[in-house]
Amino acid sequence: MKDTIIAKKTESVSINNVEIYYEVYGKGEPLILLHGYTQSSIAWLEYVKEYSNNFEVYLIDLRGHGKSSKFEEQFSVRAASEDVLTLMKHLNIKKVKGIGLSFGGDVLLELSSMSPELVEAMIIIGANGNWDSQDFPSMLNTFNYDNIEKFQWIREYHAYGEEQIKGILDQLANYKIKLTDEELKRIKAKTLLILGDKAEQIPIDSVVKLHQTLDDSQLWIVPNTGHYAHDGDNRKEFLRLSKAFLNSSIEK
């Protein structure tokens, strides 16, 4: 990949009875990039160079994904969020900024509610903190291991092969998060919410409600765009806005 840079550190650490893999790039304030469900930190590699001059960038494989431990227990967003919190403590990181796509966005919302002083600013793409895969039976009937040949791209993300991929797809049925207004009100992070207006499984009004609930948030609804609102034709504008947003939230 032409736009990638070499990691200055790669490590797996034992956290909450699982191994969590992460990589570190660049220098500056800590910035964590969190991937979507069925992806891994590889999904963010082509973006790292854009942030590495101003931030020390941490790419993290969330539990079950990438080079982190395969799923052994029932999936929960809460457990994945606790992993990131424990990793930050392990790394002695007291303040962090973050960008999270989908699952990664839900993890950031949960994390910033659990530990309001930790997350200073965050960008949430295609997530609303209130989502249940059981509300989308047609997705579950299609997006599963029986149809893996239709989703070959998943294979590029995961180190442990077909068993790991099957475990991830099987666990999608357990994906559920429902942060209450009270939990959301704990969040102190300055937040940029991003949603493609054609994202099929995240209603626009749910993200508008999240925007209205959070004390310090901005909202960007991206026209003619699906779930990956940061990529493709929107990538240049996303990078411009995300860097301006993250840099503007440096010490007040």
Measured between alpha carbons, how far is 245 from 124 in angstroms, rounded to an integer? 12
Please tell me what DSSP assigns to residue 227.
S
Mean pLDDT in residue range 133-151: 96
**What's the chain's average pLDDT?**
95
Quick check: 1 pLDDT over 80?
Answer: no
Quick check: 248 pLDDT over 90?
Answer: no
Structure tokens at 145: 């291991």
- With cut-offs at 50, 70 and 90, classify the pLDDT of residue 252: very low
Q: What percent of the chain has pLDDT over 90?
A: 96
pLDDT for res 251: 44
Nearest to 104 by CA among 35, 178, 205, 204: 35
Quick check: 2 pLDDT over 90?
Answer: no
C-alpha distance from residue 186 to each of 1, 61, 111, 215 (Å): 39, 26, 11, 9
Mean pLDDT in residue range 121-143: 97
Mean pLDDT in residue range 144-166: 96
Ramachandran angles phi, psi of 160, nearest 5°: -110, 15
Quick check: 249 pLDDT over 90?
Answer: no
Q: What percent of the chain has pLDDT over 70?
A: 97
